[in-house]
Amino acid sequence: MAGITDAAFLNKVIPFGFDVATLGGFNLDEPTIEASGKILERGRKEFHFPKNLIFTHIANEASSIKDKNDDVKVSVNVRSTTPNPIIRLDEIEDLDIIEINCHCRQPEFLEIGCGQNMLQRNDLGEFISEVVDNVSKEVSVKIRANVVDDLAVCRIIQDSGADYLHVDAMKPGVFDADYELLTRLCSNLDIPVIGNNSIDSEEKIIKMLNTGISGFSIARAVISGKLDFNISDF
Ligand SMILES: Cc1cc2nc3c(=O)[nH]c(=O)nc-3n(C[C@H](O)[C@H](O)[C@H](O)COP(=O)(O)O)c2cc1C
């Protein structure tokens, strides 16, 4: 969660039983850094670092997590208009997963073809493959559901060689995930699907697991730094 999920926050919540901790989202190139500056100006939280400091910052953040939790995979959620800045993250030893953000919907990112508008790029598959082919880390692609033809775009992501498909299964108008969509994706794809959206109870974890997902992620329910339910059993 931009402006929230830094190492200090993640070190506090990892003990609830998480086996992957995602830093960010961070902006890696001039256009995305400029866009994040505009987002900050209108009062929304963002992680905003100049290009010459961002890679060192991510490396330091990843180390602070690994120092305390060496059994947890560290992932970083990033935006960039081109693959090269994402590929550079491969140099960061303490990172395990690089997550390409095809998810955010702030207009400043959409205007430059980033966030969920990545899903409409004609070269989405080439963009992801370029990253996959040039890094030794695992690659995750995070999408927002119900924006484009999900199964078609997820097949492109799978064919590009990504290791994980992270799906914010947002269902417009309700505070619940689109379980039917997750079931459709899981039964038609071989790539591991990580389900996300609105998990705030053990019952919802069970509902999401029943769709066939390989894992789930939680954001808003941990913002307070507390969790009112137990995830270590799942
Ligand atoms: C304040 C805030 C900032 C967020 N920033 C990001 C981000 O930078 N990158 C991203 O992929 N998702 C971001 N998200 C989305 C969450 O990671 C998650 O996909 C979404 O909130 C749905 O999951 P939840 O119902 O468990 O919160 C953000 C969410 C919130 C509430």
Atom 6 in ligand 1: residue holding the nearest Cα? 1
> Is the distance from the beta carbon of residue 231 to the nearest atom of ligand 1 less than 6 Å?
no
- Counting ligand 1 atoms within 8 A of each CB, the residue from 80, 220, 223, 227 with the most, and so the one to mutate, is 220
Whether 168 is in the pocket of ligand 1, judged by its Cβ within 6 Å, is: yes
**What DSSP element (H or E) covers 20?**
strand 20-27
pLDDT (0 to 100) of residue 94: 98
pLDDT score of 233: 86
Q: Is the CB of 103 under 6 A from ligand 1?
A: yes
Centroid of ligand 1 to alpha carbon of 130 (angstroms):
25
| Nearest ligand 1 atom to alpha carbon 144 | 19
DSSP 48-73: ---HHHHHHHHHHHHHHHHHH-TTSE
* CA distances from residue 30 to 22, 119, 132 in whole angstroms, order as listed: 22, 21, 22
Cα distances (Å, whole numbers) of residue 156 to 33, 78, 140, 144, 161: 27, 19, 13, 15, 9
- C-alpha of residue 58 to centroid of ligand 1, in Å: 18
Q: Which CATH architecture has domain 7-222?
A: Alpha-Beta Barrel (3.20)
Length of the chain: 234
Q: How far apart are CA 91 and CA 28, in angstroms?
A: 14
Using CA atoms, how far residue 226 sits from 66, 78, 85, in Å, is 21, 25, 34
- Strands of the sheet with 215-217, listed across from one edge: 20-27, 73-79, 97-102, 138-144, 164-168, 193-196, 215-217
Answer yes or no: is the C-beta of 28 below 6 A from any ligand 1 atom. no
pLDDT tens over the chain, length 234 residues: 999 999 999 999 999 999 999 999 999 999 999 999 999 999 999 999 999 999 999 999 999 999 999 999 999 999 999 999 999 999 999 999 999 999 999 999 999 999 999 999 999 999 999 999 999 999 999 999 999 999 999 999 999 999 999 999 999 999 999 999 999 999 999 999 999 999 999 999 999 999 999 999 999 999 999 998 989 889
Q: According to the model, what pLDDT value does residue 232 have?
A: 85
Amino acid at 160: S
- Minimal-distance CA residue to ligand 1 atom 14: 1
How far from chain centre, in Å, is Cα 114?
13
Would you kindly state where each structural domain of the chain is located, as residue ranges? 7-222
Question: Whose alpha carbon is nearest atom 30 of ligand 1?
Answer: 1
DSSP-based three-state secondary structure for 180: helix
Contacts of 207 (CB under 8 A, 6+ apart): 177, 179
Task: Tell the residue nearest (CA) to atom 22 of ligand 1.
Answer: 197
Residue minimizing CA distance to atom 29 of ligand 1:
1
Q: How far is the CA of 124 from the centre of ligand 1 (A)?
A: 22
The reported pTM is: 0.98
